[in-house]
Chain A
Amino acid sequence: MAMPAAEIEALIRAALPDAQVTIEDLAGDGDHYAATVISPAFKGLSRVKQHQLVYAALQGRMGGELHALALQTSAPE
């Protein structure tokens, strides 16, 4: 099971259109990525809530098709 980085980015952008998204492939196996997502939508939200927004954008693929996604989220300064 694997996912291309572009698909991850597209899914996040679809749910968070104003986000800055950077994806890094950690292992080259399409299963282990790191992502940084900066979006005004995160303003005032706890880290858990921020990450849950990103997981929701991935529509259930997190933990299944996508094994590992190291997430860094924040609202713009």
Chain B
Amino acid sequence: MNRSTLTALTLIAALFSGASHAAEIKLLNVSYDPTRELYQDYNAAFAKYWKAKTGDDVIISASHGGSGKQARAIIDGLEADVATLALAADIDALATKSDLVPANWQTRLKHNSSPYTSTIVFLVRKGNPKNIKDWNDLVKPSVAVITPNPKTSGGARWNYLAAWGYALKHNSNDQAKAQEFVSKLYANVPVLDSGARGSTTTFVERGIGDVLLAWENEAFLAVKELGPDKFDIVAPSLSILAEPPVSVVDKNVDKHGTRKVAEAYLEYLYSPEGQEIAANNFYRPTDEKVAKKYAKQFPKLNLITIDEVFGGWTKAQKTHFADGGVFDQIYAKK
């Protein structure tokens, strides 16, 4: 039998059998948009580590997209072994809208199950022609702001909440004033992409907008990939501590028999090696030693947390991003 017939047969076989019975272990990591490069590096490192430790080959597949969209896909049957999403609310959805993970998933790993953190910064065009320094510059009428849709994108929700947090602080915690501020900001948004990477492309490739509200890692990556001569990163006076969480998808790993390797995959993220890979991909490490080593790379920022300002993700999600929530009201007005 020649090779192409064999390939065709394998493809047909793959078509009819969902689960593979090959000797090697397969793992599917369903993640959000900007982690592509991080997990490309990390998957290679973990496969090596796992091979050395157990002798087994592990092949890790990845799927990336807007965090909310990815959670939706997992609920609809995308058989992720691990979910590494942009915010806790999206993994919460796996627990509330289906029984894929238990309600207490976030307590299973250190630091609220977030092995790395990030924050929201501004990416502006070289030389900062509109002189954008802080959040209050974004509501000026002449400034076009690029940010994705908070309904589908995790990063966008962090952007939104950081802006809200800033407005609260500068208006002595007046929620109505904060809403007015955020409304003004979204009035300056010409395009709402569905994911963070889409927004980055809109800003850097299509040249739309004066400022991109971006994940810090995404901003660093854009500068690195497309040249430091094109963009500047601006750190606002205040931003939000973003904790992108990770979890094993219990029902799927039990079905696939991959629980052990899936758990090891997430735990290894917390190891010095995993933390170094995160830092090299511009995520802030949670391990103190590694954080110290890379301290120079990240600007010092005044960071608020979602728990202290918004009372946690469940509450923030319900108030701001649920159907008919504050974001819908703001955007309907536009």
A and B interact: no
